[in-house]
A = this chain, B = another copy of it.
Amino acid sequence: MPVFYDCSTAPSPRRARIVLAEKGVAHDVRQIDLASGEQLSPEFRAINPACTVPVLALDDGAVLTDNAGIAAWAEAVQPDPPLLGTTALEKAAVASWNSRIEGECFMAIAEVLRNRAKGMKDRALPGPENYPQIPELAERGRARLGHFLDRFEAHMAGRGWVATNDFTLADITAGVALDFAQWIKVDANEGRPAIAAWRERLAQRPSFAL
């Protein structure tokens, strides 16, 4: 059975956890304790030299070391329910929104957190190398997030889901990101009724309790 390397408190592996649940991909779980730096241990480096979770280790020895790889694999081995779109335009919309949410939202939140938190000194980026915090980047991340959320509210007005008429990977990425925003004390719902209504819909999915 595939082994999923997870960290139950962290936003990045939560994205893959939800994908695997939506797809019904059975797997064992190993928790990696990011708080104590277990991702930097020799044992975990041997599994993923990039020192990040999520990781999905397959039965045939292949190791998928990020959300992009896990989502693409899961869609191919278990097409139902489709999470990456069905028609060409849907596939484009999912890929585009997923990429945009990663860059403009997820990354912006991470920039705020990692460049300010005392516990993340010299850990301004995930991975094997240390990088010093850049306080201006935390500030910029907060500004970027605000701009993104306003655009996202306009986009979500009158829509059921982020990228297509159905729940897709873009909803997973955005939903996990906006829960992550609470770590930097940003309530994305405040003054944004379309986002709030969509997050209510997300909260009704069993996978989002994971």
Chain A residues with a Cβ under 8 A of chain B: 49-50, 62, 64-73, 75-77, 84-85, 87-89, 91-96, 98-100, 124-125, 129, 131-132, 134, 136-137, 140, 143-144, 147, 151
Q: How far apart are A101's CB and chain B's nearest CB, in angstroms? A: 11
Residue of B76, B89, B98 touching A73 (CB-CB under 8 A): B89
Chain B residues in 8 Å Cβ range of A96: 64-66, 68-69, 72
The residue on B at minimum CB distance from A62 is B89
User: Are the CB atoms of A66 and B100 closer together than 8 Å?
Assistant: yes
How would you classify the secondary structure of chain A's contact residues: helix, strand, loop or mixed? helix
User: Are the CB atoms of B87 and A76 closer together than 8 Å?
Assistant: yes
A124 CA to B139 CA, complexed, in Å: 14
A144 CA to B130 CA, complexed, in Å: 10
Chain B residues in 8 Å Cβ range of A91: 72-73, 75-76
Which one of A62, A65, A71, A99 has the greatest number of beta carbons of chain B within 10 Å? A99
Known contacts: A134-B140, A136-B134, A136-B136. The answer to whether A64 contacts B92 by CB under 8 A is: yes
Chain B residues in 8 Å Cβ range of A49: 151
Residue of B66, B98, B125, B140 touching A131 (CB-CB under 8 A): B140
Q: How far apart are A154's CB and chain B's nearest CB, in angstroms? A: 10
A134 CA to B137 CA, complexed, in Å: 8
A62 CA to B132 CA, complexed, in Å: 43
In the complex, besides A65-B96, A69-B99, A131-B143, 11 extra interface pairs with C-beta distance below 8 angstroms are A64-B92, A68-B95, A68-B98, A71-B95, A72-B84, A72-B92, A73-B89, A129-B144, A129-B147, A131-B144, A132-B136
